[in-house]
Amino acid sequence: MLVEFELFQVVITEGSQTQVIVVREKGGERSFPIYIGHNEAMAIDRKLNDVHVPRPLTHDLLANVVEQMGGKLVRVIINDMHDDYYMALLEVRRGDETVMVDARPSDAIALSVRAGCPIYVEEQVLNALQS
């Protein structure tokens, strides 16, 4: 079962390579942190704060490629967890075709803020966090 979440917080610590984003259950109380790289945190933060750059950066480029190929990112799914690492999928639709693309959660969320699409978490991931 999928549970809808939203990006709740981006924590950027200067001088640290590891940054944190927190996702929270939409309309619920569950939340959890995801540790990400500096570049991904900055990409998310730039978009949230409407900071424009003169040329497309990596996540902007990928979002543009999907759009120019007639696709649309419809949702991000954090679908699994292995050795304390989260796994994610991008669900991209083009016409009647749906393509699931393996992604790091940090990249998936950076793309979701660009596309304005929802973030879902598999219930099995939430159960693993509680144990």
Give the chain as a DSSP string: -EEEEEEEEEE--TT-SEEEEEEEETTSS-EEEEEEEHHHHHHHHHHHTT---SS--HHHHHHHHHHHTT-EEEEEEEEEEETTEEEEEEEEEETTEEEEEEE-HHHHHHHHHHHT--EEEEHHHHHHHH-
Q: Which pLDDT tens digits describe the chain residue by residue (131 residues)?
A: 999 999 999 999 988 889 999 999 999 999 999 999 999 999 999 999 999 999 999 999 999 999 999 999 999 999 999 988 999 999 999 999 999 999 999 999 999 999 999 999 999 999 998 87
- The reported pLDDT for the residue numbered 5 is 98
- The reported pLDDT for the residue numbered 119 is 98
